[in-house]
Amino acid sequence: MAAETSRSNITPVKSESSNVSHSQTVGVRGPVLLQDTALHETLETFVFSTTLSRRIHTKGYGAFGHFRTTHSMKEYTKAEFLQTPGQQVPVAVRYSLASSNLGTPDTLRNVRGFSTRFYTDGGIFDLLCNHLPVFFVRDAIRVPDVISHLSPSPVNNLADPERFWSLFAKYPETTNMLVWFFSDLGTVKSLRHIRGYSVSTYVWLNAQGVRRYVKYIWIPMAGQEYIDRQEAQQLACKDPNIAGRDLYDSIAQGRAVEYELRVQLMNPEDANTLPFDPLDDTKVWDEAQYPSLPVGRMVLNRNPDNYTEQVDKLAFNPANLLPGLEFSDDKILQGRTFIYSDAQRHRLGPDYRNIPVNKQQGWSPASMVSSGDGRHIAGEIMRAEIPNPDNFTQAGQRYESFSALEKRNLADNIASELVAARPDTQRAVLRNVEQASPALAEAIKNQMPLYAGTVGR
């Protein structure tokens, strides 16, 4: 009783309503009152302050700057900001790791996203690129299955080699990506030294109504660099955020990050004579036949002031186009045009377009640019593979273009991980590789026994 009396005689501390630092309680010890709306609002604001993570490309970094047109593209597109050399528009860039969570090491073998938003007078243009020029599959209906194979096991949330390698066994079209992905280009430590490829094929429309297929390429002015598997593993332990730190520190120290934008252009009629479908995302265009043309220069010279508001809430969408910039019939690109807005609404809410970093003055659904006006299209509705898939030629050509060291590293990189898959999966993957390059398949087979004793460690 004495204790209760002494407790009630304590003079309560009064806090300003704008700086409440204690919960409302019965006496000093409590209990806490359900009526304490300040407590509820404080905790609920904290709980809901975190933006939902992206389903893919979860881990990322951002930077800001400008893009300046250096060569007029008036002959090829009526996009307003590409008409005259010297035109300059603000940009925002987000780099990301495709298959990732917030704890994924930057140097892990992965696909790096390289997405750029151009804030033009005519509206927003989003250009979504990857650091490798090809993708795993050619049809968007297969993308959820691809992501499932690249994700951790649903049983224990750990990496599952069988789950991963069954992707390459299941889809022969992944063979070209296998060669790119497991080359040393798959492991990098600096985002300032990677290329960016649109992968998908877009369309440019000029003022005369002429359409051309186009692929976009970002070239790092500091040069392209990559690391081998061993260095990637060491850096993952030493500094798992090395790429993001390098990007931020470089800009903070006044060293701008610069890229040149180039494009490959193709007459759509060429599709009738090429040995592959130019709208196939598992293919590249030969630069000897379709040389890349310079368009402009991007300079990133400003770091974010608030990561959550300026980078995490960036809501990219390949459907954010401008007059003169259109979609092609690329099946991956066509599928992506529908899902991004839904994903951003789910992640950021229905009003995501009014978040400052996504704001486009005067936007309405009518602001969206529809592709293909004036085209005449007729045909039977069906579900079918493209006529000339050619799943293996380019993969073999890519392997043959490598130096002797690059060939050894590729075989070693594949062998060191493929050895953990089931024997039937190994055989299926090697059958696909053999159709691309018997020499590469043989080199992988020869390397695999060296890693047989490491499985499960």
How confident is the model over 188-202, as a mean pLDDT? 98
For residue 371, tell me if it sits in a domain. Answer: no
Enter the pTM of the model: 0.93
Looking at the structure, do residues 412 and 336 belong to the same domain, yes or no?
no
The residues carrying an active-site annotation are 57, 130
Please write the tens of the pLDDT for every residue from 23-37.
999 999 999 999 999
Q: What is the mean pLDDT of the chain?
A: 94
Residues 6+ apart with CB under 8 A from 316: 94, 115, 117, 126, 128, 340
CA distance 228 to 236: 12
Looking at the structure, do residues 76 and 215 belong to the same domain, yes or no?
yes
- pLDDT greater than 80 at residue 18: no
For residue 17, tell me if it sits in a domain. Answer: no
Looking at the structure, do residues 84 and 128 belong to the same domain, yes or no?
yes
Looking at the structure, do residues 100 and 247 belong to the same domain, yes or no?
yes
Q: What percent of the chain has pLDDT over 90?
A: 91
Looking at the structure, do residues 332 and 402 belong to the same domain, yes or no?
no
CA distance 74 to 86: 14
Q: Using CB atoms within 10 Å of the CB of residue 318, give its burial: 0 to 12 exposed, 13 to 18 middle, 19+ buried.
A: buried
Looking at the structure, do residues 225 and 320 belong to the same domain, yes or no?
yes
Looking at the structure, do residues 435 and 288 belong to the same domain, yes or no?
no
Looking at the structure, do residues 330 and 429 belong to the same domain, yes or no?
no
Q: Considering only 41-45, 62-66, 393-397, 447-451, which range has the smallest mean pLDDT?
A: 41-45
How confident is the model over 156-163, as a mean pLDDT? 95
* 330 and 201 Cβ atoms separated by less than 8 Å: yes
- pLDDT greater than 80 at residue 11: no
Looking at the structure, do residues 324 and 419 belong to the same domain, yes or no?
no
Q: Which domain holds residue 131?
A: 59-140+188-358
For residue 329, tell me if it sits in a domain. Answer: yes
Model confidence at 5, pLDDT cuts 50, 70, 90, reads: very low
Please write the tens of the pLDDT for every residue from 371-430.
999 999 999 999 999 999 999 999 999 999 999 999 999 999 999 999 999 999 999 999
For residue 66, tell me if it sits in a domain. Answer: yes
Number of other CB atoms surrounding residue 214 within 10 Å: 22
Model confidence at 68, pLDDT cuts 50, 70, 90, reads: very high
Number of other CB atoms surrounding residue 364 within 10 Å: 8
For residue 294, tell me if it sits in a domain. Answer: yes
223, two tokens: 């040069």
Looking at the structure, do residues 240 and 303 belong to the same domain, yes or no?
yes
CA distance 333 to 344: 17
CATH of the domain at 226: 2.40.180.10
* 386 and 271 Cβ atoms separated by less than 8 Å: no
For residue 10, tell me if it sits in a domain. Answer: no
Number of domains the chain is built from? 2
Looking at the structure, do residues 228 and 297 belong to the same domain, yes or no?
yes
For residue 164, tell me if it sits in a domain. Answer: no
Please write the tens of the pLDDT for every residue from 108-129.
999 999 999 999 999 999 999 9
pLDDT of residue 315: 97
Looking at the structure, do residues 400 and 352 belong to the same domain, yes or no?
no
Model confidence at 14, pLDDT cuts 50, 70, 90, reads: low
Stated as kind and residue range, the H or E segment containing 112 is strand 112-120
For residue 86, tell me if it sits in a domain. Answer: yes
